[in-house]
Structure 1
Amino acid sequence: MEEEERRAVGELIASGIETLRERIAEMEDAARPVSPDNAIGRLSRVDAMSSRQISKSTLFALKSKLSRLEYLSEKINEPDFGMCARCGRQIPVKRLMAIPETTMCVQCAAG
């Protein structure tokens, strides 16, 4: 991988980390439990609990992606950065730019 490509992927990863941290902070508010003292109707409480569960699932996915991006940001200057974890071939830069947290080439990810 060329230095300019590595820098572009690194900037994308850094930007993704910043965005995810902001989204996680927002989602943590939405994932808080619904207080039983909150005077809302029974159906509204069910809606609120359902919405909370969706927020918790989304929060888990965001935290997982953040963890992968943080790991890759530490590895970006290593010689094997951008190599497929399964076959060892170079992952195309276009794939890394589209899905920076990927660790496999298209062929290995599909199989």
Structure 2
Amino acid sequence: MTDADIRARLNTLKAELEAMDHSSEESRGTVELDQSRVGRLSRMDALQGQAMNQAIAARRRQALQKVEAALQRLDEGEYGYCVRCGEEISPKRLDLDPAAALCTDCTSGKG
């Protein structure tokens, strides 16, 4: 896979993550607590849904940071090498997760 292919794949992944984050902004917003309009259980459900959506958004932001870091490694000529040990990351691993920063050994704690 060429650098251009990798960059295109990472940019597509980045755009998808940003679009999902933008489309879920409303679900992470403030929950209305007006008892005359919303019952207690409905508010509890809304608060729980809000908390779950905020956690999902946090994981999405982490994934976005991983993608941006991978793009930076690509710019620096370091893409495909483990950031911990410097060994080459398996092409199969990069195919599954193009933003992977660690080799299999370092991910599992062996490296």
Tell me the TM-score normalised to structure 2 length.
Answer: 0.87
Shift in Å, 1:26 = 1.5
Number of aligned residue pairs: 108
> Which consecutive unaligned segments of at least 5 residues does structure 1 have?
none
Mapping for residues 12-91 of structure 1, pairs under 5 Å: 12-37=9-34, 39-91=37-89
After TM superposition, which residue ranges in structure 1, 4 or more long, deviate above 4 angstroms? none
Root mean square deviation of aligned Cα: 1.5
> Which consecutive unaligned segments of at least 5 residues does structure 2 have?
none
Cα separation, 2, equivalents of 1:70 and 1:76? 10
Deviation track 1:47-106 (CA, whole Å, cap 9, x = no partner) reads 000000000000011011112212221331322221111221111222112112211111
Shift in Å, 1:109 = 0.4
Identity of matched residues, %: 25
Is the contact between residue 70 and residue 101 of structure 2 (CA under 8 Å) also seen in structure 1?
no
Aligned to 2:99: 101
